[in-house]
Structure 1
Amino acid sequence: MVLATGRSSATTIPVLDELGIAPRFLVCSNGAVTLHRDPGGYRREWVESFDPAEVLRSIRAHLVNVRFAVEDEAGRYRYAEPFPPATTGLDSEQVQVAFEELWDRRATRVVAVSPGHGLDDFLAVVEKMGLRRVSYAIGWTAWLDIAAEGVNKATAVERVRAELDIRRDRVMAVGDGHNDVELISWGAESGRGVAMGHSPVELIEAASEITGSVHEDGLAQVLSTL
């Protein structure tokens, strides 16, 4: 089993402790950081980073009152304006800096939040930006996650699959969010790509199977078929 999440590594490991699981590999930050468990705990195995300067300037030119946070490979965030509470992890892992200081080092992810936009309006603005040389995923609200070009949960999980030498027709991917589209498409290509019942339309269209919603224990339903 591999847990693939949009959470940073710093905020994911405590969740594993609560769940009582310890997968060998852990995909964080929407695929930008993959951790490997060894006797000493989790260490960073693969990290995909990029120069965030161009994308930060581009988004700020298109969106008014947007708030930015930039994540490093350890899961620490720097932000320019106050961020919604409890969205990027522990306060101890964050520091506020001037906007121009957000691009003075490489990033694993840029997060942009635009509180004044509804999701549909936000999507329309993002499409007009024509973001290049990056990958991006839209959250449930006006929330944009930006990573290095070609980096997403699917690329990271495929790397883990190859490392473990598991056949493609033996994989199953389950997800429920906009940032799972590539992962579910990857699973559906040769194996099983399963969308939770409460998933957005884009994810359901990418899936080869649909399971129950989270309130119906949909993940348990599909795991019971293994």
Structure 2
Amino acid sequence: MTTDPWLIALDIDGTILDVDGEIPDATHREIDRLVAAGHEVMLATGRSARDTLPVRERLGIEPKYVVSANGAMTLEKDAADARGYAARWVETFDPSGALEALSGVLRDARFAVEGSDGIYRYSGRFPEGTFEAQGIEVPFADLAKEPVTRLVVVSPDQTIEEFLANIEKSGLHSVSYSVGWTAWLDIAPDGVNKGTALERVRESHGIARDRVFVAGDGRNDIEMLQWAAAGGGRGVAMGNAPQEVIDAGNELTTDFYHEGLAKALAKIPG
């Protein structure tokens, strides 16, 4: 058991899980090894809390904290909560300005917000398997009724290039945002991202900045990768990541289907 643990924060989709929701055996083995050695292995994801905790269970890990909603919600282990975790730090913002700006240039877009209760409220039909099963459909005007941790915008009829151009045209400001692989936009409170949430977690654990390992493949991982690299830790971009994500880290591994995460984790001594 190590006396000098690493803080190991992992993105989920495209890093731990493939598009079919499968976890490679090699990833399981490395995570089991690191947990047994006393390292703090946790999740840092854009998913909601309710979509994050089942992945934690599948991995068999019990970290003190879990970062969800791109850093806007950090959960803490809590035996009194039915899920085993309760909200510890929650960041919210008023989505009305972003909704107004984006609806003006993305006329066929679908919008959804995630409240501090972890429930999605959405307007318009989303791609299958996203929010309908766990959310509530509401009129567009109701999306801005209360502060939210996250605003999601999807424009399935646009190319990623058209989508990016329209976001630029909207003049979106006073929020943090990242664009996904498709025409999918995640908006968080200004200055909030996975990196800011993980710095809180690191301070709480008292782990040195150079004992931090993060891994991710999406644009919402950029700040997390930069944060780890800037502190002398390991900011590992997956080989399947866009170039701007690769540039944000200080280490590149192979892609998901060539056991990229497991190979990077294997370099951490047990």
Q: What range is the shorter-chain TM-score in? A: over 0.9
Task: Give unmatched runs, 5+ long, in structure 1.
Answer: none
For 1:145 and 1:185, locate their aligned partners in 2 and report how far apart those are by CA, in whole Å.
19
| 2:52 is the alignment partner of 1:9 | no
For the residues of structure 1 that align with 2:188 and 2:194, how far apart are their CA atoms?
A: 11
Do the aligned residues in 1 keep the contact of 2:101 with 2:171 (CA within 8 Å)? Answer: no
Q: How does 1:53-64 map to 2 (within 5 A)?
A: 53-64=96-107
Gaps (5+ residues) in structure 2? 1-40
8 A contact 2:104–2:170 mirrored in 1: no
TM-score, scaled to structure 1: 0.96
* 2:257 is aligned with 1:215: yes
In the alignment, the residues of structure 2 paired with residue 84 and residue 156 of structure 1 have an alpha-carbon distance, to the nearest angstrom, of: 29
The alignment yields a C-alpha RMSD, in angstroms, of 1.1
Contact 1:10 1:74 in 2 (8 A): no
Q: Give 2:138's aligned residue.
A: 97
Aligned pairs (5 A) from 1:5-84: 5-40=45-80, 41-84=84-127
Moved segments of 4+, more than 4 Å: none
Distance 1:130 1:32 in 2: 22
Superposed displacement of residue 23, structure 1: 1.6
1:86 is matched with which residue? 129
Check the 8 A contact 1:9/1:74 in 2, yes or no: no
Structure-to-structure mapping, 1:128-207, within 5 angstroms: 128-190=169-231, 191-207=233-249
Equivalent position SS for 1:2: strand
Corresponding letter in the other structure for 1:70:
V
TM-fit CA distance, 1:85: 1.6
Higher relative contact order (CA 8 A, sep 6+): 2
TM-score (ref. length: structure 2)? 0.81
The AA in structure 2 aligned to 1:202 is E
CA distance in 2, matches of 1:19, 1:75: 22
Aligned length: 224
Cα distance in 1 between the residues matched to 2:44 and 2:150: 15
Cα deviation, residue 21, structure 1: 1.7
Once the two structures are superposed, what CA deviation does each residue of 1:116-161 show, in whole Å capped at 9, x if it has no partner? 1111221122122221110001111000011110011101011101
